[in-house]
Structure 1
Amino acid sequence: MKQILATLMLGTVLAGCGTSTSQDTLTESPSAKQEQPVSLEKTSAYVPNPQLPDDRRLTKINQTVTDDKGDLTLKQFKPVNETRKIGPIEMTIEEIKVFHARPSYGMIDFFHGFTHEEFFDLIKTRVTITNTSDTPVTFNPVAHFKLNGEAEKTLEDDVYLESLAKTYAPSETRSGNFGFILERPVKSIELLTSDVLDEKQDVLKKGTTYSTFLR
């Protein structure tokens, strides 16, 4: 009799375990689907810059935007919206802005790596870059940036640090800014891109230039 009772109890326990396992499986299924990675296009959402305020609403001279990173006042503005084809790279120069910047106290140390002034002017260019090919290519949108036909800036002087100089995956699109602190007023700029390189670092297409005057 004791053996019969023990057998029945063991069967009940095993049945309970089976039910629990089945319920766990059903419970975990939806969450497993939710954890699937979501592919987001880099141009579909604005990513705040960690160093400088969001200037997207600044379109009129002397407008100011303020946040916890400091103040930006618009001094010059040139909408461009011009697309250049550089081999497999399509680069749209969207706009060029010149600001007077007043960084917050917490950001001063960062900018001391570029200037000893606490307030300064800076020029910013916004671009969108697309690799239209089915293979990776390496590209830098700003190999040289010439101001007033004299002073030159390179990516080492860039204060935005938005990783636009990189290897672009097939069909990858990236939007972002690069900008430089100004030592004097700017009337004209000349932008020279890098060459476009393939996976073996061979040149697919020589870089191009873009020049314009600012008011």
Structure 2
Amino acid sequence: MKKLISLVCISMFMIILCGCSNNDFSTGSSAKAEQVDSSYLDAYAVNPQVPDDGTLLTVGQSVKDGKGEATLQKINLTEQSTGIGSIQLTVKDTKLIHLFPDYSMTDYFHGLTHNEEFDFVKIFVEIKNNSNEKLNFAPIAIIETNTGEKLSWEQDIYLENLNGEMEKKTTKRGNLGFIVDSKDDLEWIEITTSDVFDKDEKKIADAQKFRIEF
């Protein structure tokens, strides 16, 4: 009888112990990471040159498709806005990505780099023309890094037609990307926008400068 009671007690102890372990595991696995509002990507058409990085939210994550393999190196999801006259520019996300392009994309990137794989800074922007007239604007005229690199709008790898004319009361959204050399030492980028011009090419607002930290 005593032996039976002992076995029952041991069994109950094991059940309780397992139950505690399962609860702990469940709590850990069900703990939700900080939710990211990615609704700004809903109407975004995937770029024909660069893999879609929309799901890359954790450093080390990779995504692979017919355009190559992209791996997230650094990320800043803090939204940042600035006004340039009647233009409202909002940076939605900024990422440092390592890209190994597919062989089929070699010719496209050859004009910008001779490396088979490389790192680039990617910025997703939203541009609003709040005026009642057509304006001309470029969200990034120059991009500089803390490592001393200086790149111009002409070196953008996405080519999503974010520069140039904007009809009245319209919005543009999309990516700009710039190949960089010193990924390990990259701590911040500084963006200088273009001036804002009216339909007669008259400057109506000066360029703005702002910094994004990694």
Q: Same fold (TM over 0.5)?
A: yes
Is 2:151 the partner of 1:177?
A: no
- Cα–Cα, structure 1 residues 64 and 44, in superposed 2: closer, same or farther, change >3 Å? closer
Alpha-carbon distance between aligned partners in 1 of 2:100 and 2:157, rounded to the nearest angstrom = 14
Query: Unpaired runs of 5+ in structure 1?
Result: 1-41
Q: Deviations over 1:49-97 (max 9, x none)?
A: 0100110110000000111000000000001212211111011111110
Alpha-carbon distance between aligned partners in 1 of 2:45 and 2:128, rounded to the nearest angstrom = 18
User: Any idea what SS the aligned residue of 2:83 has?
Assistant: strand
Query: Unpaired runs of 5+ in structure 2?
Result: 1-39
Alpha-carbon distance between aligned partners in 1 of 2:136 and 2:78, rounded to the nearest angstrom = 24
Counterpart of 1:193?
193
Counterpart of 1:128?
126
Q: Deviations over 1:30-49 (max 9, x none)?
A: xxxxxxxxxxxx98622110
Identity %: 36
Counterpart of 1:138?
136
Letter in 2 for 1:203: K
Letter in 2 for 1:99: I
Alpha-carbon distance between aligned partners in 1 of 2:129 and 2:68, rounded to the nearest angstrom = 34
Contact 1:190–1:210 (8 Å) recurs in 2: yes
Letter in 1 for 2:187: K
User: Any idea what SS the aligned residue of 1:212 has?
Assistant: strand
What's the offset of the Cα at 1:212? 2.7
Is 2:191 the partner of 1:208?
A: no
Alpha-carbon distance between aligned partners in 2 of 1:194 and 1:188, rounded to the nearest angstrom = 20
- Cα–Cα, structure 1 residues 63 and 43, in superposed 2: closer, same or farther, change >3 Å? closer
CA-atom RMSD in angstroms? 1.4
Counterpart of 2:8?
none
- Cα–Cα, structure 1 residues 147 and 56, in superposed 2: closer, same or farther, change >3 Å? same
Counterpart of 2:112?
114
Moved over 3 A (4+): none
Contact 2:160–2:174 (8 Å) recurs in 1: yes
Matched pairs, number: 173
Contact 2:132–2:169 (8 Å) recurs in 1: yes
What's the offset of the Cα at 1:213? 2.3
**TM-score for both structures, normalised by structure 2:** 0.78
